[in-house]
Amino acid sequence: MDIDDVKARAGPREFSPSDDLPLEYREAATRMLEFHANSEVMGGYLDKEFTRMAPSLDRKLACTAKCQDEIGHAQLLYRAAETLGVKTREEMLADLTNGDGKFLNCFHYPVDSWYEAPMIDFFVDGAAMRRQATLKDTSWEPYAHAMDKVCFEEGFHVKHGEDILRELMTSSKANQERTQEVFEDWWPRMLQFFGPTNDESTHNDFAQQVGLKTVSNDELRNSFLNMYMPKAEKYGLEIPESPRIFERDDGTMAVREDDLDWDEFWTIAKNDFEGSHEQIGSRRRRQEAVEWVRESMTDWETAGADSPQAAD
């Protein structure tokens, strides 16, 4: 099958590991899946921080469960990527550890307060749900199957984040003011979550032509905006003046994308942001801290394979 055949056949869950797909498709699908899996891992690191900050045992348990879910999602996605035959799970994790792996912009920013929990668990995960729901119809079948489970669990994450936001915004005035301050910091980052504008995206057109993506970055951004602006206002948050929001002819809202800090976004995309170094360094230190466990397991498996029982 050549790439023109792929474009002609592209549709929901159209291709599977049994198909003889061109390298161009397999590399594009691997890049998407690896990026997604890396983002789940790095998102889990933020949830780990929220577990420590959580003000009650129930919140700590919920944050711990969410962290476990995110790492589980990553494992599903790495395995789905492996079926394309381009990179192994170990290679993808190694790239993430050494700073070559890419991941979503919002997970490059370290968190330092509980007020940021709803920004990640409600708004960012809500943005993720907008994107992931469309990936149930991606053309790479293993990716779509993984999304069935991921979207089910992400729905609970969003509800958890919304409950934290409700709790903060119906409590003391100090809590409300601090939540508003944090929201103003995170609002532009949320809108950049979906990636660069369509005309600046390197991979968007091809990904849509071969069915890996079904909705463009700009469409996803505006869909999120129209769903989550009312939710933010419902809980008493004020939408920041920048980036500017305007009403389109069809009555829906859209963002003035030129108001967003794209220089910072592209610095993040290259893993050159100050926060990127901190987050990737944290990942590297944890990888090194448990290296002895992997070595012990490898030694045990090797010893087992060489034992008389294994020979029998």
Q: Is the pLDDT of residue 166 over 90?
A: yes
Q: What's the CA gap between 193 and 255, in Å, rounded?
A: 13
Select from 30, 70, 31 the least CA-distant residue to 49. 70
Structure confidence by residue, pLDDT tens digits, 259-284? 999 999 999 999 998 878 777 777 77
> What does DSSP assign to residue 233?
H
Confidence band for 291, pLDDT divided at 50, 70 and 90 = confident
Domain 3-311 fold is: Ferritin (1.20.1260)
Select from 259, 275, 253, 265 the least CA-distant residue to 201. 265
Confidence band for 245, pLDDT divided at 50, 70 and 90 = very high
Q: Are 74 and 44 in contact (CB under 8 A)?
A: yes
Q: Is the pLDDT of residue 308 over 80?
A: no
Select from 81, 90, 197 the least CA-distant residue to 140. 81
Other beta carbons less than 10 A from residue 215's beta carbon: 16
Q: Which residues contact 200 (CB under 8 A, 6 or more apart)?
A: 262
Q: What is the pLDDT of residue 306?
A: 63
Q: Are 129 and 154 in contact (CB under 8 A)?
A: yes
Amino acid at 310: A
Q: Which residues contact 228 (CB under 8 A, 6 or more apart)?
A: 123, 126, 127, 190
Q: What's the CA gap between 182 and 119, in Å, rounded?
A: 8
CA angle 255, 251, 259 (to 5 degrees): 10
Pairing of the two strands 245-247 and 253-255: antiparallel
H or E stretch at 75: helix 57-82
Name 247's bridge partners: 253
Q: Is the pLDDT of residue 39 over 80?
A: yes
Between 51 and 306, the more confident residue is 51
- The two tokens of residue 103 are 């991941």
This prediction has a pTM of 0.90
Q: Is the pLDDT of residue 307 over 70?
A: no
Structure confidence by residue, pLDDT tens digits, 2-31? 999 999 999 999 999 999 999 999 999 999
- Report in angstroms the alpha-carbon separations of 285 from 36, 167, 278, 282, 301: 22, 35, 11, 5, 25
Q: Are 171 and 115 in contact (CB under 8 A)?
A: no
Q: What is the pLDDT of residue 221?
A: 94
| Mean pLDDT, rounded, for 51-74 | 95
Select from 1, 10, 42 the least CA-distant residue to 213. 10
Q: What's the CA gap between 124 and 60, in Å, rounded?
A: 19
| Mean pLDDT, rounded, for 106-132 | 95
Q: Is the pLDDT of residue 173 over 90?
A: yes
Q: What is the pLDDT of residue 227?
A: 95
Q: Are 150 and 39 in contact (CB under 8 A)?
A: no
Q: Where are the beta strands (DSSP E) in the chain?
A: 245-247, 253-255
